[in-house]
Structure 1
Amino acid sequence: MSVLARTIDVTRRYGGVLALDRVSLEIRAGELVGLLGPNGAGKSTLINLFVGLRRPTSGTVELLGGSPSDPLVRRGIGVTPQETGLPEALRVGEVVGFVTSHYPKARPKGELLERFGLADLDRRQIGGLSGGQKRRLAVALAFAGEPRLVFLDEPTTGLDVEARRTLWDGIRAFHEDGGTVLLTSHYLEEIEALAQRVIVVAQGRVLADDTVRAVRDMVGVQRVSLTAAALPELPGVLSSERDGERTHLMTADADHLVVALVSSGTPFTGLEIRPTSLEEAFLHLTAPEPVTA
């Protein structure tokens, strides 16, 4: 697959703050990539470098075979930043028409609005939209110019479940048509549902870059869930969480833990063992290292 965007040993500083630290990665054609990291990890900085809103302090950023600072190169991408401002007095259809007029090839307005669940809002003024409707429109505009590559920074923030699913369908449809997507999200189930590849960043560095399954498996832990009135001290428990009558135990050796549980004679029901979730793997990977004396 051809490389549509890449960073080569990129560092970005804001004064004394190191936002990205010698980051090298590639986004290849046809990929749907999830970019994960805690607040301040460098996710938005990375997207801003790719789309030409920032320049690296050192290193190289390439976009569609050229430079992100070239307006002609940027015609081939679509972007939805974390925050967008749309003219309140204009109608939805007018905003879409204005944006699409800047591209030599654009997606038909009706098709674009339909894909993102906005067809019935064509004549509505922006000022009369809900926050969720404005967010859906902002995401739809990223796809207006038939882009090869789309960057979505927290695209579903503030949306209810139904609206989020509608956007997921629109993103999936673009990807299935051969489009490439890089998105960030605080909803890890969103990344798990959409992405084929996951990049985890923290403190400005890439901690993991692989498939969703491989990133989950990196931490080498399993989740053991059961219902019990009380539990004895069990070997290999990395963490535990109580959820109503259910207890969830994280362990690197589920077999050993279950043998010890049975041997203890503790009554329990509803035993369930499953691999760690992407959220659990993310928290493990990005957890601060303990300070040693």
Structure 2
Amino acid sequence: MHAAGRHALELLARLGYGARGVTYCLVGGLAVLAAIGVGGQTGGSRSALLILLERPFGWILLGIVAFGLAAFALWRVVEAITDADAYGRSAKGLATRAGHLVSGVTYGGLGASMMTAALGRGTARQAEDQGARDWTAWLLQQPLGQWLVGAVGLIVIGAGLAFAWKAWKGDVCKRLSVPHDARDWVRHVGRFGYAARALTFGLIGGFLIAAALASRSSEVKGLGGALQTLRGEPYGWVLLGLTAAGLAAFGVFGLVQARYRRIEPPDLDAARRAVKDIAG
């Protein structure tokens, strides 16, 4: 890939990390406000981003974030296919790359939905968990559908456990080139953020397993549903507040990644060879 193309891909990746960071800051910040009773909301990414439309020139802001999410989706797919971060072909490496590929598809859908809303072609407010429920309903109708949905739930819980390990023992600064005097607070913020993601992924995976056991797609809930579940527990405002603060911390960590993450855009020929290997 020419130097200009590699530089453009790096810029898109950084814009993507920033857009993901803004999204988590909004989700977490709004949920913190809800936890302490001064407004806010316990919604997912879509409902949090749509808050931007209520601000002056909000459609421009939402459009920028939507473009950034699409850029992040592109980077995740490229990263997964070309192994830009050198995870390798071990079981752990392939699982990580598969997770990035799924992440790319997910953020691509979110970016497209938000761009549609920014252009005034629908607010997408009713689509918070509907997409997940639709594919769950489809999967349940397939042979061994309940087992498949349960397997997906276990995979999501597994991802949550991986985030928990990263929060406890992982080096969250491994791929960052942050100034030495900032590493401590970046590490603490990143670990707090991953801990919150671990909890929410665990709950979302649990909802999927419940859907499999009951054979009802209505049991499926996304991030907003996970936050609302925490709010309904005893001392729920404390659980919600801590988790929401962690999600906001992950958003801040994403902004740090946008600035300081080491990004190695792949060579175009290597990317083409990787695609051919997968296709054939």
TM-score relative to the length of structure 1? 0.24
Structure having the larger proportion of residues in helix:
2
| Greater length-normalized contact order (CA 8 Å, ≥ 6 residues apart) | 2
Query: Radius of gyration: which is bigger?
Result: 1
